[in-house]
Amino acid sequence: MTYQTLLFDVRDGVAFITINRPDKLNALNDQVVNELADAAERVATDDDIKGVLLTGAGQKAFVAGADIADLANQGPFDGKARALRGQAMLRRFETCGKPVVAAINGYALGGGCELAMACHLRIASETARFGQPEVKLGIAPGYGGTQRLPRIVGKGNALYLILTGEMIDAAEAHRIGLVSQVVPAGELVAKAEQTLRGILAMGPLAVRLAIEAVDQGLEMTLDEGLLLEANHFGLLAATQDMREGLTAFLEKRPARFRGR
C-alpha cells in the first residue's frame, strides 16, 4: 500500500512511522486508520523491521483524536464498526511482537491518547498534552481508552480523565504513570530512538516474550500469569541467545544476540 497520510521509513531495523496530517493536528480519519492498520501488519510480518518509533508530524500534535468530521456522520452500526476497526489496528501494533515506542510530540487526545497507550513505551516532550475529551462531544472513548487507561494509570485516575475530559500536561502524565519519560521537545525523537535501539540490543526473543507475558498476564489470574512466565523462562532456556547472553556476561564482553 502507498501511504497518503503516513510517512513510513525503515532505517537500520527501525520503522519510523509519522502520522502526517499536521493541518488537522494528525486527527485519525478512516484513511489514517486504514493506513496504520496496513503499517502494523507490515511491522508484524517484515523480518527486517525490529522495532517501531511512532510520532506525529509538526510541532503541535501527536494525534488530536479521531477525526470529528468523520464521527459527525456516523450512525450506530457504522459507529460500532469504526470502533472495532480502530481497536483492531491498535491491537495489531500492541501484539506485533516487536517493541513499539510512541514519541509524543504534542496533543495526544482521544484516539491519540488511545494510540499512545497501545504502544509499549510512551516518551513525551515537555509540550505534550493528554486527555480523553470524548464526553465533551457526547461520545465515550472507542479505541480502547476505557480499557487501557485504567490498566495503565489505575481506575481512579482513568475515570477522572474520562469523565472530566480534562487535559493534563506531560508532567502530570508522568506523575500518574501514563508516560515513562518527559524530555525537551528538541530531543524527543533522538531520545525515543536511543531508548528503542537500547531495547533492540537486548535478546529479541526475550523482549518479545516479556511483552507477551505482560500483555497476556494482565488478563489472567496471578497463578496463570506466573505459569505463563515460567513457560517463557523455560522456552528461552532452549535458545542460543540465552547461552550467548549468559556466556558473554561471564566472559565480560557484550552479547551478540541473533534471535535464535
Count the residues of the shown chain that bind ligand COA, applying the rule CB under 6 A. 15
Residue the block writes with cell 464521527: 71
Residue closer to ligand COA, measured from CB, 43 or 170: 170
Smallest distance, Å, CB 123 to ligand COA? 20
Residue 114 bears catalytic tag = yes
Contact present, 147 and 153 (Cβ < 8 Å): no
By CB under 6 A, name the one of 17, 19, 27, 124 that touches ligand COA: 27
By CB under 6 A, name the one of 65, 144, 145, 203 that touches ligand COA: 65
Q: How far apart are CA 137 and CA 142, in angstroms?
A: 13
* Candidate segments 44-52, 58-66, 73-81, 145-153, binder of ligand COA by CB under 6 A: 58-66
Cross-sheet strand order for the sheet of 168-169? 61-63, 107-109, 129-131, 168-169
Residue closer to ligand COA, measured from CB, 30 or 46: 30
For residue 259, what is the DSSP state?
Answer: -
* Candidate segments 24-32, 144-152, 210-218, 240-248, binder of ligand COA by CB under 6 A: 24-32
For residue 203, what is the DSSP state?
Answer: -
Helix, strand, or coil (residue 82): helix
Residue closer to ligand COA, measured from CB, 132 or 195: 132
By CB under 6 A, name the one of 14, 15, 66, 83 that touches ligand COA: 66
Residue closer to ligand COA, measured from CB, 146 or 216: 146
3-state helix, strand, coil in the chain (%, to 5): 50, 15, 30
Instruction: Report the C-alpha dihedral over residues 30, 34, 40, 43, rounded to 10 degrees.
Output: -140
Residue closer to ligand COA, measured from CB, 63 or 199: 63
Residue 244 bears catalytic tag = no
85 contacts ligand COA (rule: CB under 6 A):
no
Residues 113-172 that bind ligand COA (CB under 6 A): 133-134, 137
24 contacts ligand COA (rule: CB under 6 A):
yes
25 contacts ligand COA (rule: CB under 6 A):
yes
Smallest distance, Å, CB 64 to ligand COA? 4
From 35, 41, 114, 126, the catalytic residue:
114
Question: 202-206 contacts: CB < 8 A, separation 24 or more?
Answer: 202/257, 203/236, 203/239, 203/241, 203/242, 203/244, 203/245, 203/255, 203/257, 203/259, 204/50, 204/241, 204/257, 204/259, 205/236, 205/239, 205/241, 205/259, 205/260, 206/236, 206/241, 206/242, 206/245
* Candidate segments 79-87, 102-110, 172-180, 197-205, binder of ligand COA by CB under 6 A: 102-110
Q: How far apart are CA 134 and CA 142, in angstroms?
A: 9
Residues that bind ligand COA (CB under 6 A): 24-25, 27, 64-69, 107, 109-110, 133-134, 137
Catalytic residues: 114, 134
